Amino acid sequence: MKRQKLLPVLSTLLLLTPLSTQVAALTQQQELYQETLKAARSSDNPQVVAGLKQLGDYPLKPYILYTQLRARLDQLDARDALNFSERHPDIPLEGRLRWALTTSLGERGEWQQFTQLYKTLDNPNTTQECYAGRAALATNQRQEAYAIAGRLWVEGSSQPNACDPLFEQWMQAGGLTDAHALTRVLASLEAGNPSLAKYAAKQAKAATTRQQIEFAQSLYENPQQLLENPSILTKANPEHRRLLMLAVNRLRRSDLDAAIDLWVRDRERLSIPVEEQFEITDRLGIYKAKRFQPDSPATLAKLDPQFQRDDLTGWRARLAMINQDWKGVETLIGKLSAEERQSERWQYWLSVAQEKQGQQVNEQLKQLSKDRTFYGFLAAELSGSAFTMNHEPAELDEATLTRLAAMPAFQRIHELFELGELYDARSEWNQITRILPPREQHLAAHLVSSWGWYNQGIRGAIQSEKWNDLDIRFPDPFRSLFDTAAERNGITKTWATAIARQESAFWIQARSHAGARGLMQLMPATARDTAKKHELPLNGLGSLYDPQTNIDLGSAYLGEMYHRFDNNRVFATAAYNAGPNRVNRWLRDRGELPLDIWIETIPFDETRNYVQNVLSFAVIYDTRAGRPAQLLSDSEKKLLAFNQAN
């Protein structure tokens, strides 16, 4: 058998040279595609026909056909969607067309056609389910229709208008019982929707049901009464479990300690099953822990006396760190589950706790330093070990990459990426990679990364569980821009790169729900202020999607945070994520703590992970660039618990 040629990672670009040449030649076709797509949206059929003919075998022609069908959705029947699915079974658009047409047929009341398509949907939404109930009514399948109505009516939120005719007939037929009314009242109160609960309450007829509902509403309005008078809720009430949880969750908003007292007392009194206790126990305990109050350790012990919840035991260990009770830290780590106890986090803190008690832990730290994690890197610096990358470069064979690149799905993905249609490109990726074996998923990730779609390459590496392929997980596409900006702002070269890797994974067009934009995810106000302070150009918010503009402004702002927090990258990184005012507050409350304990007790999980990731990513980028790497500066290392006098 002829052995396949194995190529280094960077040669992926060479493999794709023919494809890149093809893309350059397709510029005119891309323009024609967009013009024809526009004509399809406006139902200009002669131009669509002419455009399709000129496009030849252009990969995105099905998108034009789909758009043409969507433009006259209210005129289609089920056969139109099914025919499209038969011709294009491997394109996500076929599912979208079936979905949209199913809803349209329901709106039109064309029940036979609707039912034909509805049966093909995997996860119909509530509107479609209500249309299914109405279709059943139209064909005298009343039992099926009323079952749908009863199931949907009891939800704790208002349902779509499409459900109203179904609910009305169900109610007129006597389907709505007191049990339905009580169930919806409870669901509405649990969802924080008391006005809907009042509506549902009016549907109850029996006096006993109305009393139950009034009691539930009373607990919602005044949960403190249950703490003061436990006799008002006993196991004789069939809804005692839900009512207790409702009262605890409501009371937590106004008085956390009272909610904890109520929960600890009544979870046993009312025999709440252990597995149903965990969610509320964890939530209450973590809220209490993050208040860092003197009684927090005792309260967590009361909530979880048998150390059943690793999250709470972990926070008990963190609280012991704050008090620098190292024997207590060691004991609590020993109470974690075996799997959690062996994690890098807790092995690091076990080493610190033991060292602070006079034990020799250098060998433990050297062992831990073999992990490419924040805690592994900390251990490396403390033990004088080299950082371990554990890099496993991909073996990229030309034949498989060429075959993947030639697949219709990847040709469509490439065109969509070039046109900036990333939602569609991701949909195509998700559909095709579901049927690829892990090795080909991994190669596909390298394929799209070589086009410049770095964040999808990173996702693909994770999807294929190739955690040690650092070539694809840590690309460095804008090194010269980051280097120049770092030098200008007095920050280390790879720090801003690590920020961009964490923030956007190098997606130039990234935009968060909050409005942060570009590689370094700058908020508009921050970008404007930074541009003004540093006299940097910002020609409208759209320019934040320009790599140089974004990197210049993001690096300047990062430099501001660095100098604001006395050249401490830990505090500055936290400020970049959570805002400088929050970091000031955290420093005011716990700034005297050793630096690693301060990081470990950041109350925002996102910010804690963010700081650890950014510092670790900077080590990886420095190491891969052949530069001296440090997780922490010399001055920062002096602030670690390990280096503090006992």
Average pLDDT over residues 490-517: 96
Q: Using CB atoms within 10 Å of the CB of residue 416, give its burial: 0 to 12 exposed, 13 to 18 middle, 19+ buried.
A: buried
pLDDT tens-digit map of 35-73: 999 999 999 999 999 999 999 999 999 999 999 999 999
Instruction: Give the CATH class of 396-473.
Output: mainly alpha
In terms of DSSP bridges, do strands 6-7 and 396-397 run parallel, antiparallel, or are they unpaired?
antiparallel
Q: Which residues, in sequence order, are bridge partners of residue 522?
A: 517
Domain boundaries, given as residue ranges, for the chain: 343-383, 396-473, 479-643
End-to-end, the C-alpha distance of the chain in Å comes to 65
Structure letter (DSSP) for residue 522: B
Q: What are phi and psi of 397, to 5 degrees?
A: -100, 140
pLDDT of residue 588: 96
pLDDT for 26: 56
**At residue 90, does pLDDT exceed 70?**
yes
Q: What tens digit of pLDDT does each residue of 130-188 get?
A: 999 999 999 999 999 999 999 999 999 999 999 999 999 999 999 999 999 999 999 99
| DSSP codes of every residue in 107-137 | HHT-HHHHHHHHTT-SS--HHHHHHHHHHHH
Tell me the average pLDDT of the chain.
94
Radius of gyration for the chain, computed over Cα atoms and rounded to the nearest angstrom: 30
**Residue 626 to residue 620: CA distance in whole angstroms:** 10
Q: How far apart are CA 575 and CA 598, in angstroms?
A: 14
Given a cut of 50, is residue 534 above it in pLDDT?
A: yes
For the segment 209-250, what is each residue's pLDDT rounded down to a tens digit?
999 999 999 999 999 999 999 999 999 999 999 999 999 999
Q: Please, which contacts does 29-34 make with residues 24 or more away whose CB atoms are closer than 8 Å?
A: 29/55, 29/58, 30/415, 30/418, 30/419, 33/58, 33/60, 33/64, 33/415, 33/419, 34/419
Distance, in Å, from the CA atom of 411 to the CA atom of 407, rounded to the nearest integer, reads 6
Residue range 106-138, pLDDT digits in tens? 999 999 999 999 999 999 999 999 999 999 999
CA atoms 114, 115, 120, 125: torsion sign = positive
| pLDDT tens-digit series, residues 455-491 | 999 999 999 999 999 999 999 999 999 999 999 999 9
CA 61 from chain center: how many Å?
Answer: 33
Alpha helix ranges (H) inside 310-437: 310-322, 326-334, 338-341, 344-356, 362-368, 374-383, 398-406, 408-418, 422-433
**Minimum mean pLDDT among 19-28, 234-243, 556-565: which range?**
19-28
Beta carbons within 8 Å of 168's beta carbon, 6+ residues apart: none
pLDDT band at residue 27 using 50, 70 and 90 as cut-offs: confident
Collapse the DSSP code of 193 into the 3-class scheme (helix H, G, I; strand E, B; otherwise coil) and give the result: coil
Cβ atoms within 10 Å, residue 24: 8
Q: Read off the pLDDT of each residue in 248-262 and give the average, rounded to a whole number.
A: 98
- pLDDT score of 21: 31
The reported pLDDT for the residue numbered 1 is 30
The active-site residue out of 415, 440, 503, 560 is 503
pLDDT digits (tens, 9 = 90+) for 271-328: 999 999 999 999 999 999 999 999 999 999 999 999 999 999 999 999 999 999 999 9
Q: DSSP code of 511?
A: B
* 13 pLDDT above the threshold of 60: no
Task: Please indicate whether residue 503 is annotated as part of the active site.
Answer: yes
Confidence of residue 530 (pLDDT cuts 50, 70, 90): very high
Q: Name the maximum alpha-carbon separation found in the chain.
A: 85
- Is the pLDDT at 22 greater than 90? The verdict is no
Distance CA 78, CA 197 (A): 39
> 192 or 397: whose pLDDT is higher?
192
Structure confidence at residue 628 (pLDDT): 94
Average pLDDT in the 366-389 region? Answer: 97
Decide if 299 contacts 579 (C-beta within 8 A).
no
What pLDDT, on a 0 to 100 scale, did the predictor assign at position 345? 98
| pLDDT value for 645 | 75
- Look up the CATH number of domain 479-643: 1.10.530.10
d(CA 498, CA 515): 21
6 versus 371: the higher-pLDDT residue is 371
For residues 372-397, give the mean pLDDT.
96
Measured CA to CA, the distance from residue 598 to residue 66 in angstroms comes to 55
Mean pLDDT of 323-345: 97
Give the residue from 218, 229, 227, 315 showing the smallest Cα distance to 263: 227
- Provide the pLDDT for residue 600: 98
Predicted TM-score of the model (pTM): 0.92
pLDDT digits (tens, 9 = 90+) for 189-213: 999 999 999 999 999 999 999 999 9
pLDDT at 79 exceeding the cut of 90:
yes
Please state, in angstroms and rounded to a whole number, the distance separating the CA atoms of residues 335 and 594: 24
Q: Give one DSSP letter per residue of 195-239, joined into a string.
A: HHHHHHHTT--SHHHHHHHHHHHHHHH-THHHHH-GGGS-TTSTT
| Mean pLDDT across 339-360 | 97
Confidence band, pLDDT 50/70/90 cuts, at residue 10: very low
Cβ–Cβ < 8 Å for 335, 307: yes
pLDDT in tens, 619-633: 999 999 999 999 999
| Inter-residue contact 553 to 530 (CB < 8 Å) | yes
Q: What is the pLDDT of residue 462?
A: 95
Q: Give the span between the Cα atoms of 513 and 499, in whole angstroms.
A: 18
CA distances from 214 to 189, 211, 217, 524 (A): 12, 5, 5, 49
